[in-house]
Amino acid sequence: MDGNLQNDLSEVVANDKAHVWHHLIQHKMFETADPNIIVEGKGMRVWNQVGKEHLDAVSGGVWTVNVGYGRESIADAVRDQLVKMNFFAGAAGSIPAANFSKAVNRKNAWHEPGLFLELRLGSQ
């Protein structure tokens, strides 16, 4: 963790206790203890608001951030795409959607010529 937290996190902790549902833990403990607020990640490690390091074996590593945290090459590619064209509704195609659909279809056993994968969620 770089230790460069700009904000007083007491308000963030209070907002988390009051407004965030943590689906994997019992909230009763928050009556006497603060929740972990993850403030930074690098690789498969994350740090909470008091600087304690954790191995992410539950959140991103399993479900969403399986490439690890802090991957500058991915962040740079995402930034470049967001500046150029962040999203366009399904009324027309886009270069990322067409290229990604082709790559995904090649990896699927059910792929046949003429079949297509339609991406309209905005997260592609």
Q: How far apart are CA 120 and CA 18, in angstroms?
A: 34
Diameter over CA atoms, the chain:
60
Verdict on whether the full-model pTM lies above 0.75? no
Each residue's pLDDT tens digit in the chain (124 positions)? Answer: 655 555 678 999 999 999 998 877 888 999 999 999 999 999 889 999 999 999 987 765 566 767 888 899 999 998 998 898 877 776 777 787 788 778 877 777 666 665 555 555 555 4
pLDDT, residue 119, reads: 53
State whether the Cα torsion 7-11-13-19 is positive or negative. negative
